[in-house]
Amino acid sequence: MKLEDAKRRIAQDSELHAFISISDETGDGPVVAVKDLVDVKGTVTTAGGIILPKTPAANDAPVVNRLRGHGCVMVGKTNLHEFAYGVTSINPHFGAVLNPHDTSRVAGGSSGGSGVAVAKGMCDWAIGSDTGGSIRIPSALCGVVGFKPAFGSIDTTGVIPLSRSLDTLGPMAPDVATAAQAFAMMTGEAAPSMPSSRPRFAVPANWVRDLDDQTSRAWALVSRGIPEIQFVEHGALFRDGLTILMVEASVYHRRWVAEYPDKYGADVLTLLRRGLEILGVDYEEARTARPGLQAAARAAMSDVDALILPTTAIVAPLVTAGIEAREPLARYTRPFNLTGQPVVSLPAPVSGLPVGIQVVGRTNAGALAAAMWLEREWRSPAA
């Protein structure tokens, strides 16, 4: 993609509010959109809020610096749910990020701008962050591929945190191969090749429930014939992950919540205040339980290559949706931030509003390879 073509598309679809700022960089390498909580030298990092200093970053975050070595050009900073703390990207300061398939609906969050940028061809691929589903949810709702790598795969220095012990960075792209190539540039890990035989897929027993009609139809199609296995109980993973996220987010924001409450959107301020009410013993209990849950997840997958699950329980909700959308959008994403496993979200082979399917792997290469296989299978005439 040429940089001028990317900028032209950004301008043409400015009403989608995908970007907060556009860079003045030049070059003819891969065009990358960067979620606006990652430092890019010479641009202001807002994190989707209005509290941070309005001074340009003096240095690139390490992940951006690594991409420079591959000739990548950062086209601009994408819009997001304020401070990455939400699943809709309805941003009171920079405008709600609108779904490219239906502008009456949300793009998903928190990396909504990155999802829209990819879906509308405003970049070759984009950087997102994921703490409870923030790469995978907008990827699912916008109909693109998103990859949350294994925890710790990518340095998060130079990134405004949400929850330091859960935060991950990863690529969002038009297809799995591009996501894999982007991840290779972000990390130096080799991009996987297509598996020579069908990966062993499984569905966690008793996990999938209460899907809306469109998601249910897509899930019935893609899960047909795939066996169930016993996996870690969903509730423990979801609950402990949420406890850790809420406490760590509130600790980071505590001073600003006290001094500048009027500078937050109402939804984010409510969540931050709730986090301050969580008892220290509950946070410590969740942290202590985490290693055992991670070990149990690894053991449960000893005989399979990847799990598949819906990414979200519902398709993109309307922009008027409230807090009730939070749980069905994050229900199947949040558990895998606690386990730290790598997960790809890719579009199901259905028409209408996009439906995302998660591929949960044991290794980064394994998750990407399994997703490649499914993507090819779904694109074949027999799919």
User: pLDDT per residue over 78-131, tens digit each?
Assistant: 999 999 999 999 999 999 999 999 999 999 999 999 999 999 999 999 999 999
For 60-71, the pLDDT digits (tens) are 999 999 999 999
* pLDDT-derived band at 381, boundaries 50, 70, 90: low
Q: What is the pLDDT of residues 270-295, one digit of tens each?
A: 999 999 999 999 999 999 999 999 99
274 CB neighbour count, 10 Å cutoff:
12
Selected catalytic residue, list 110, 111, 114, 139:
110
Q: What CATH architecture does domain 201-379 belong to?
A: Alpha-Beta Complex (3.90)
Please tell me whether residue 307 adopts helix, strand or coil conformation: strand
Query: What distance in Å separates the CA atoms of residue 326 and residue 305, rounded to the nearest whole number?
Result: 29
Question: In the predicted model, is pLDDT for residue 382 greater than 60?
Answer: no
Segment 136-153 shows an average pLDDT of 98
With CA atoms as reference, report the closest residue to 264 among 275, 251, 253: 253
131-155 as b/e: b if 16+ CB within 10 A: bbbbbbbbbbbbbbbbbbbbbebbe
The candidate with the shortest Cα–Cα distance to 221, out of 57, 14, 378, is: 378
Please give the mean pLDDT across all residues of the chain: 97
Phi, psi of 218 (to 5 degrees): -65, -40
Range 319-344 burial, b when 16+ CB lie within 10 A, else e: bebeeebbebbbbbbbbbbbbbbbbb
Return the percentage of the chain with pLDDT > 70, whole number: 99
Would residue 35 show up in a list of annotated catalytic residues for this protein? yes
**Positive or negative, the Cα torsion across 109, 107, 342, 240?**
positive
Q: Mean per-residue pLDDT for 152-173?
A: 98
Q: How much of the chain exceeds pLDDT 90, in percent?
A: 97
Which pLDDT value is given to residue 43?
98
- Of the pLDDT bands very low, low, confident and very high (cuts 50, 70, 90), residue 322 is confident
What is the rounded average pLDDT of the residues 308-331? 96
Residue 223 a catalytic site member = no
| Active-site annotation holds for 111 | no
| 380 has pLDDT over 80 | no
pLDDT at 49 over 90: yes
Please choose, from the candidates 147, 135, 141, 146, the residue with its C-alpha nearest in 3D space to the C-alpha of residue 100.
141
What residue spans define the domains of the chain? 3-187, 201-379
The 8-class DSSP code of residue 352 comes to S
**Contact at 8 Å (CB) between 202 and 359?**
no
The DSSP secondary-structure symbol of 337 reads H
| Mean of pLDDT values over 322-326 | 90
Tens digits of per-residue pLDDT, 23-43?
A: 999 999 999 999 999 999 999
Catalytic residue among 134, 153, 163, 345: 134
Mean pLDDT, rounded, for 233-253: 98
pLDDT per residue as tens digits for the range 350-370: 999 999 999 999 999 999 999
CB 356 within 8 A of CB 311: yes
Same CATH topology for 3-187 and 201-379: the answer is yes
pLDDT at 383: 46
Fold of 3-187: Amidase signature (AS) enzymes (3.90.1300)
